[in-house]
Amino acid sequence: MRLLYSARYIMSSISYEKKLYQRLKTLSDAFLLSSRDLDYKAVLRAATKHFKVFTEADASVLMLHDTKKNLTPVCSLGIPISKVRDTKLPSSTRLKNILAHPVLDVRYASFMNTPFIQNRKLIGLCAVFSTVPEKFDIFEHNKYENLFLTILASYIAASVENAILANSLQLIEHSKSEQKNSPDTIDNLAP
């Protein structure tokens, strides 16, 4: 009996260690993301993947503010983006309502929405889904798992915000370049 208990303890310890390693690896990858890649689409794909892997979810959808200040899906893993693309969540929606209700009408047994907050402003959220009921309860009831998730969300929010800013700067530079090379600019019309 004692040998059986020891074997179970060792197996659960190994399982916990593997899970902890996976969580720390995902956090490490998220930290490196902000210093390595400012490509907008690559950052969105990586953020969506990190949340899916970190939470061991079946699907993950990243939503960001669009030009009309709605939260709109911009990247998805496990659910075709075509199925969720038209979903919009008004930015006036209270954060507690976002956390308590699924933002997408998809057929999964459990969900979890994690807000991305940067400079005290909601910039988006990641929704994860699982076929396993109550899959994400651990993030609500275990303070360490919740802390890991908060750290991941903070770094992802910063990476997404940096990618958005870099993308905006590239668009401005491209626009200035086109204006400069255009023959009908004000400078070229002056005598």
Whether the predicted pLDDT of 7 surpasses 80: no
Better pLDDT: 189 or 146: 146
pLDDT for res 18: 79
**If pLDDT is split at 50, 70 and 90, which confidence band does 175 have?**
confident
CA atoms within 13 A on the CB side of 2: 0
Give the tens place of pLDDT for each residue, 73-124.
999 999 888 888 888 877 777 666 665 666 666 678 888 888 888 888 888 8
The Cα–Cα gap between 182 and 178 comes to 6
Would you kindly state where each structural domain of the chain is located, as residue ranges? 37-168
CA atoms within 13 A on the CB side of 138: 13
Q: How many H helices and E strands in the chain?
A: 7, 5
In sequence order, the β-bridge partners of residue 126 are 62, 114
CB atoms inside a 10 Å sphere around CB 62: 28
Instruction: Sort 176 into a burial class: Cβ within 10 Å, 0-12 / 13-18 / 19+.
Output: exposed
CATH topology for the 37-168 domain: Beta-Lactamase (3.30.450)
Pick from 93, 49, 48: nearest CA to 71: 93
Give the tens place of pLDDT for each residue, 30-49.
666 666 656 888 888 988 99
Q: What is the SS3 assignment for 133? A: coil
Which whole number is the average pLDDT over 64-72? 83
